[in-house]
């Protein structure tokens, strides 16, 4: 019963998530810790609230290093493709967002061969044009990612908590399963004992009845 409740709850949560995110988009925050020498995905998602409205979008990424005073324009992506705007990021940035659509909602990029100089603040700027029947509407959205570059991977608190909860859930399910098995065994054992008693009583009654009939026959014969 508990497992069925968990499954039903999971399905309902998934249905709610799909409805809330319009079935195709969820604004998930970007990771913020990269490992030097490896690649890293800078996430940036801006969901369009009116899915039935056609739109186009242009995305700009800006970067400000830990020692810099101002942001520098490093990357642009629109219907014509990608343009790397800063020489420091040449051959080091790949588009990792929406594909085959001018209506960009996922503007994530992938940094190659991350260095400690990549630590800093990244700004993801959306300029979206919505096409209504009689007019156009321009909307701008900015999202910020604060990136830290470390020598080697470290486990975040969320990861540790998730793993602990996973083990707690597994142990809890095993305990519940053990209790269910003991309960079922006792129930089956009790039912078996009752069946044996009923069979023994029925056999005793049959023997007694047969003995009574034999006695009655002997008396009639005499």
- Bridge partner list, 77: 59, 82
Q: What are phi and psi of 2, to 5 degrees?
A: -65, -40
User: 167 is in which domain, residue-wise?
Assistant: 155-207
Instruction: Tell me the three state secondary structure of residue 213.
Output: helix
Judge if 193 and 113 occupy the same domain: no
* Distance of alpha carbon 85 from alpha carbon 74, whole angstroms: 4
Name the domain boundary from 112, 136, 154.
Answer: 154
pLDDT at 4: 45
- Residue 11 domain-assigned? no
Judge if 50 and 145 occupy the same domain: yes
pLDDT tens track for 120-169: 999 999 999 999 999 999 999 999 999 999 998 876 545 666 667 777 88
Judge if 134 and 190 occupy the same domain: no
pLDDT at 219 over 80: no
pLDDT at 174: 84
Percent of the chain exceeding pLDDT 90 equals: 48
pLDDT tens track for 27-48: 888 999 999 999 999 999 999 8
Judge if 190 and 91 occupy the same domain: no
Helix (H), strand (E), coil (C) string for 130-149: EECCCCEEEEEEEEEEEEEE
Q: What are phi and psi of 27, to 5 degrees?
A: -85, 85
Judge if 37 and 138 occupy the same domain: yes
- Residue 49 domain-assigned? yes
Residue 170 pLDDT level (bands cut at 50, 70, 90): confident
Residue 214 pLDDT level (bands cut at 50, 70, 90): low
pLDDT tens track for 189-211: 787 777 777 777 777 666 666 66
- Residue 3 domain-assigned? no
Average pLDDT, the chain: 81
The CATH code of the domain that includes 70 is 2.60.40.10
pLDDT tens track for 76-117: 999 899 999 999 999 999 999 998 888 899 999 999 999 999
- Residue 50 domain-assigned? yes
pLDDT at 213: 60
pLDDT at 210: 62
């Amino acid at each position: 019963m508990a497992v069925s409740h968990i499954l039903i709850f999971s399905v309902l949560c998934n249905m709610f998530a799909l409805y809330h995110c319009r079935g195709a988009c969820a604004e998930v925050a970007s990771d913020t810790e990269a490992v030097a020498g490896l690649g890293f995905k800078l996430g940036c998602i801006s969901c369009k609230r009116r899915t039935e409205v056609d739109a186009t979008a242009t995305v700009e990424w800006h970067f400000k290093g830990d020692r810099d005073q101002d942001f520098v324009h490093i990357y642009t992506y629109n219907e014509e493709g990608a343009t790397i705007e800063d020489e420091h990021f040449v051959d080091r940035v790949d588009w990792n967002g929406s594909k085959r659509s001018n209506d960009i909602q996922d503007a994530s990029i992938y940094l190659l061969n991350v260095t400690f100089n990549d630590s800093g603040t990244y700004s993801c700027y959306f300029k979206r044009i919505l096409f209504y029947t009689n007019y156009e509407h321009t909307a701008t959205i900015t999202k910020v990612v604060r990136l830290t570059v470390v020598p080697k991977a470290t486990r975040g608190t969320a990861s540790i908590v998730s793993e602990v909860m996973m083990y707690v859930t597994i142990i809890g399910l095993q305990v519940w399963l053990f209790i269910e098995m003991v309960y079922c065994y006792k129930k089956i054992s009790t039912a078996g004992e009752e069946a044996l008693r009923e069979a023994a009583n029925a056999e005793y009654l049959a023997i007694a009845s047969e003995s009574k009939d034999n006695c009655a026959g002997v008396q009639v014969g005499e």
